Amino acid sequence: MAPSRAFLQRARASQPRKLLAMANVFPSTTAASNAVLASMRSQPTQSRHFSNTQRQAAAAPTHSTEGKRKPLTEEQREFLSSALRVNQAGELAATLIYTAQRGPVVGRDPHLRPLMRHMYEQEAGHLRTFNSLIAQHRVRPTALYPVWSVLATGLGWSTAMMGRAAAMACTEAVETEIGEHYNGQIRKLLEMVSEWEAQGYEVGEEFRTLIDTLRRIRDEELEHLDHAVENDAKKADPHWLLTGVIRAGCRGAIWVSERV
């Protein structure tokens, strides 16, 4: 069994059954995302902020919670802010890795040009999504933006210079970590939805759309992982060392970007 498939199965199996069932109820994404993003832009600025959206929607306490949204807790607001911050930083890094890799990889293997372009364009789309979301919700970008930019470009360029297999092993390592990272966020958001619904509160369309967007992006990252394995990522030498170092670096960068 290909390792990437094993990863997919493990990632999906790790989601609680109840949450998976709920996830299946959600409509599929791109058109819905665009419509809701457009409607979010038309709302007054203050109501778009995470810290205010749920709070304002929740009226004074009544005996019934029907049609009411529960205010976000401080912890939930912090989680959402750090999630958007780290996602934006990660997608910036991804676009820079592919930009740096494209020249050397395509120079040696011209048949990979469409694949490299396809993956880059998807990453650029992810970055646009999170740029938009952090602006709408007034989330501070990571203060280490310049540092991540230099490191991501260096990682992309150096692995591409080592050869196609090393470049693909870089993608395999990065996308494995990012896939797990998005899965963790999705699981947490679904837990919040589950809790609100159990208490009879309404869950905003904006919130459901965010979950759908994360699931779509997670699936695209896992698609990149599959492409990397199909294009000899496992032939990198030494594969275990290269992917181990890159995966550890990704985890470190995620940990720091969530906080700084």
Q: Which residues lie near Fe ion (CB under 5 A)?
A: 91, 94, 123, 126, 221, 224
User: Quick check: 183 and 15 in contact, CB under 8 A?
Assistant: yes
Secondary structure string (H, E, C) spanning 128-181: HHHHHHHHHCCCCCCCCHHHHHHHHHHHHHHHHHHCHHHHHHHHHHHHHHHHHH
**Shortest Cβ 97–Fe ion spacing (Å):** 9
- In this structure, what DSSP letter does residue 58 have? S
Question: Whole-angstrom Cα distance, residue 64 to residue 55?
Answer: 16
Residue closest to Fe ion when measured from CB atoms = 126
Residue among 223, 237, 5 nearest 118 (CA): 223
Q: Which residues contact 173 (CB under 8 A, 6 or more apart)?
A: 242, 243, 244, 246, 247, 250
Q: Specify burial of residue 111 (Cβ count, 10 A radius: 0-12, 13-18, 19+).
A: exposed
Residue with tokens 């993003």: 37
**Shortest Cβ 144–Fe ion spacing (Å):** 18
Shorter beta-carbon distance to Fe ion: residue 77 or 126: 126
Question: Whole-angstrom Cα distance, residue 137 to residue 8?
Answer: 31
Shorter beta-carbon distance to Fe ion: residue 34 or 199: 34
**Shortest Cβ 54–Fe ion spacing (Å):** 27
Shorter beta-carbon distance to Fe ion: residue 206 or 221: 221
User: Quick check: 205 and 162 in contact, CB under 8 A?
Assistant: no
**Shortest Cβ 25–Fe ion spacing (Å):** 25
Shorter beta-carbon distance to Fe ion: residue 193 or 242: 242
Shorter beta-carbon distance to Fe ion: residue 102 or 224: 224
**Shortest Cβ 197–Fe ion spacing (Å):** 29
Shorter beta-carbon distance to Fe ion: residue 216 or 224: 224
In terms of residues, how long is the chain?
A: 260
**Shortest Cβ 131–Fe ion spacing (Å):** 13
